[in-house]
Structure 1
Amino acid sequence: MPAPITLASLRSVPLAYATCSIGSSPSDTLPDKLLAISNAGFTAIELSFPDIQQHAEKLHNREVASDSYAELTLAARDIAKLCKKLNLEIMMLQPFSNFEGWPRGSVEREQVFLKAKAWMQLMEACGTDLLQVGSTDSLEESISTNRADIVRDLRELADMLAKQNMRMAYENWCWSTHARTWKDVWEIVKEVDRPNVGLCLDTFQTAGSEWADPRSPSGLLEGIPKPELERRWKENMLKLSQTIPGTKIFLLQVSDAYKPAKAIENEAKDGLRPRAQWSHAYRPMPYAGGYLPIEDVTKAVLKTGFRGYFSMEIFDSGPEGKGKEHEVNQYAKKAMESMQRLFKNVAETNE
């Protein structure tokens, strides 16, 4: 029997905020976001690549291309200085996507490995040792879903990172080509078998793959009676808690999801599969109108013994997905209140 989840143990959990998850206006600069995050009591950030690019453009007062790494590196160094003044750790750089599975000898494979080396330079510049890798979700038919190919590529990246004392947090995306569930990414991480590779788990991605489906009128997986769905879900969360060592979880990202007012059509739009469309616009913070069983996911992760970073990663465009204004300071404070409420609700003892 795992030890009960004590509220005292949750008070020591470090709290982060993804910079891509705050601000709804181009006028919300990265320094504004960082100040709001720090004032709300968060001690770290996930630094999002688009924020590095935006900050570089502010510094140079012109557009900066996504592959202008000399300018992006200067921006990353400046961000590190800003964070140091605010006592914020840069916990992770994200999101590194569509990396694994490209055919050997292909231009795409060569490009993603060159990109990985460039992102490692950004990591060094901003002072983080952790890279988030999202499981490939490309619509390109040439990309492989073969497990051996996936593992080979991730091992190669892991070894590159290890030479610089860097780590990788591998995440399932619930619309991925090959790793939609926590079981998928855990099996892959086990096969990769590198000490610097662990999991980025996510309350949305976990419940969004095995409980909910935005394409159905009910918002739940179709073809399964709800009592059976609930039984399977409880078993699934129990298995997670008993399967993954807490030491192989590098962070837990926290968000909920709105049930779309109208079911999302079962087709890709703007290069995004239905669940990706859902992810990009319908993800509020906990207790803000969502419907996923995120407390179940949180409890399962905590029962592994994990007490590492909890990170707020939300994309809230409102229940209609059409946009919603957020004032950064109030929003960051609300996010902290939401995180503390989550801790109180999942704690099994107040000791």
Structure 2
Amino acid sequence: MRYQPAIMSASLGRAWLHDLENKLQQAGKAGFKGIEIFYEDLDYEARKIAGSDNPSPENLIQAAERIYSICEAQGLEIIGLQPFLFYEGLKDREQHAKLIEKLKLWFKLAKTLHTTTIQIPANFLPADQLTDDLDIIARDLQQVSDMGAAENPPIRFAYENLCWSTFIDTWEKVWDVVKRVDRPNFGMCLDTFNIAGRVWADPASPTGKTPNADADLKQSIDRLAKEVDVAKVFYIQVVDAERMESPLVPGHPFHVDGQPARMNWSRNARTFMYEEDRDAYLPVEDVARAIISGLGYVGYVSMELFSRTMAEEGGNVPTEHAERGIVAWKKFQANFKLD
């Protein structure tokens, strides 16, 4: 098949509430063929192995071995390990050096998981901790790319804009960085929520939209279909989000002081595609069509989710999320006539 459905391990329930083996079993049972392993899940498994909140690198590798064996039994290909957070553009170069050392462990984890992809979300630390100099950002990402290329097998990096990232918050900016990095193993993850959630939607607005939402989105995705090299799209994530009943500003239940509204919205109120009964409202199908029909993307389609529903208690939560995700995939597959 040219297209396969994937899901992220965290999308099936929070690590500290829901057993990872059950989550992976439910993903396989529902019909998913691939999975993104969220580091929080891996770390939580390592803590259980260690019997400590400070697992060793060896414990993490043991956890990765266990996760891989469960995925293999369920017929799940691990399509990536994510997120390698808060890396590029740091003004604190001592922290930069620490993350380079951390990445060496991530390479071992990726190999143990039998995956060759690590995802890097665009940095969303406060602006005073980061540079907006794209040449420095690109050099930082060239450094990890060159390290990854020296591995056997080579490790590639999928860079992703988050709609609340401090400087690299649109696909256009990610694409600019990808071109500046100019390495064969450095590409991008395109996410329908993060694209539409920045240019079209605004959870802090009474309308739920930016002032010129429809025209701006159309222009943006038209450019995407014309400008991006599809070989640099390593995988895609398709996901929607709830429209807020009231603006997400101070006083809203999801508001957290010091955090962008879009971050709080993302962490609490994403939905799978086509979940109108959950107030899904973004034009994410338009974004996905630009990627699949416009660019000609072929590969894994990940039904990623972050939501307060992941932190609900009960053994049925992973099952419900897996079933919701595969229903969304089947509708997506039918609407896009994917084989």
Could you state the TM-score of these two structures normalised by the residue count of structure 1? 0.88
The residue aligned with 2:203 is 214
The residue aligned with 2:185 is 196
Tell whether the 8 Å contact from 1:317 to 1:324 is kept in structure 2 after alignment: no
Aligned mates of 2:241, 2:210 — CA distance in 1? 14
Tell whether the 8 Å contact from 2:188 to 2:235 is kept in structure 1 after alignment: yes
Aligned mates of 2:20, 2:257 — CA distance in 1? 27
Superposition pairs for residues 1-351 of structure 1, below 5 Å? 12-23=2-13, 26-60=16-50, 62-65=51-54, 68-103=56-91, 106-139=93-126, 141-164=128-151, 165-222=154-211, 224=212, 229-265=213-249, 269=256, 272-288=259-275, 289-302=279-292, 303-317=294-308, 327-347=317-337
**SS, match of residue 188 in structure 2:** strand
Residue type matched to 1:251 in 2? Y
Aligned mates of 2:246, 2:322 — CA distance in 1? 29
The residue aligned with 1:4 is none
Tell whether the 8 Å contact from 1:295 to 1:346 is kept in structure 2 after alignment: no
**SS, match of residue 174 in structure 1:** coil
Tell whether the 8 Å contact from 2:193 to 2:238 is kept in structure 1 after alignment: yes
The alignment's C-alpha RMSD in Å is 2.2
Deviation at 1:324, TM superposition (A): 8.3
> Where do 4+ consecutive residues of structure 1 move more than 3 Å?
24-27, 321-326
Aligned mates of 1:330, 1:276 — CA distance in 2? 24
**SS, match of residue 132 in structure 1:** strand
- Aligned-residue identity in percent: 33
Q: Larger helix proportion, structure 1 or 2?
A: 2
Deviation at 1:77, TM superposition (A): 1.2
Tell whether the 8 Å contact from 1:24 to 1:324 is kept in structure 2 after alignment: no
Deviation sequence 1:73-126 (CA, Å, 0-9, x none): 11111111111111111110001111001137x321111111211211211121
Aligned mates of 2:57, 2:238 — CA distance in 1? 30
Aligned mates of 1:52, 1:98 — CA distance in 2? 18
**SS, match of residue 240 in structure 2:** coil
Deviation at 1:59, TM superposition (A): 2.9
Tell whether the 8 Å contact from 1:64 to 1:71 is kept in structure 2 after alignment: no
Tell whether the 8 Å contact from 1:42 to 1:336 is kept in structure 2 after alignment: yes
Tell whether the 8 Å contact from 1:215 to 1:266 is kept in structure 2 after alignment: no
Deviation sequence 1:312-336 (CA, Å, 0-9, x none): 1111226xx9968762223212211
Deviation sequence 1:260-279 (CA, Å, 0-9, x none): 22211279836532111111
Could you state the TM-score of these two structures normalised by the residue count of structure 2? 0.91
Tell whether the 8 Å contact from 1:254 to 1:311 is kept in structure 2 after alignment: yes
Aligned mates of 1:14, 1:265 — CA distance in 2? 38
Aligned mates of 1:277, 1:260 — CA distance in 2? 11
Residue type matched to 1:124 in 2? K
Which sits farther off after the overlay, 45-54 or 236-245?
236-245
Tell whether the 8 Å contact from 1:219 to 1:259 is kept in structure 2 after alignment: yes
Aligned mates of 2:176, 2:115 — CA distance in 1? 26
Deviation at 1:155, TM superposition (A): 0.3
Tell whether the 8 Å contact from 1:245 to 1:305 is kept in structure 2 after alignment: no
Deviation sequence 1:56-75 (CA, Å, 0-9, x none): 23334x23326x32211111
**SS, match of residue 15 in structure 1:** strand
Aligned mates of 1:126, 1:39 — CA distance in 2? 20
Aligned mates of 1:167, 1:231 — CA distance in 2? 34
Which sits farther off after the overlay, 324-333 or 29-38?
324-333
Deviation at 1:27, TM superposition (A): 4.5
Alignment gaps of 5+ in structure 1:
1-10
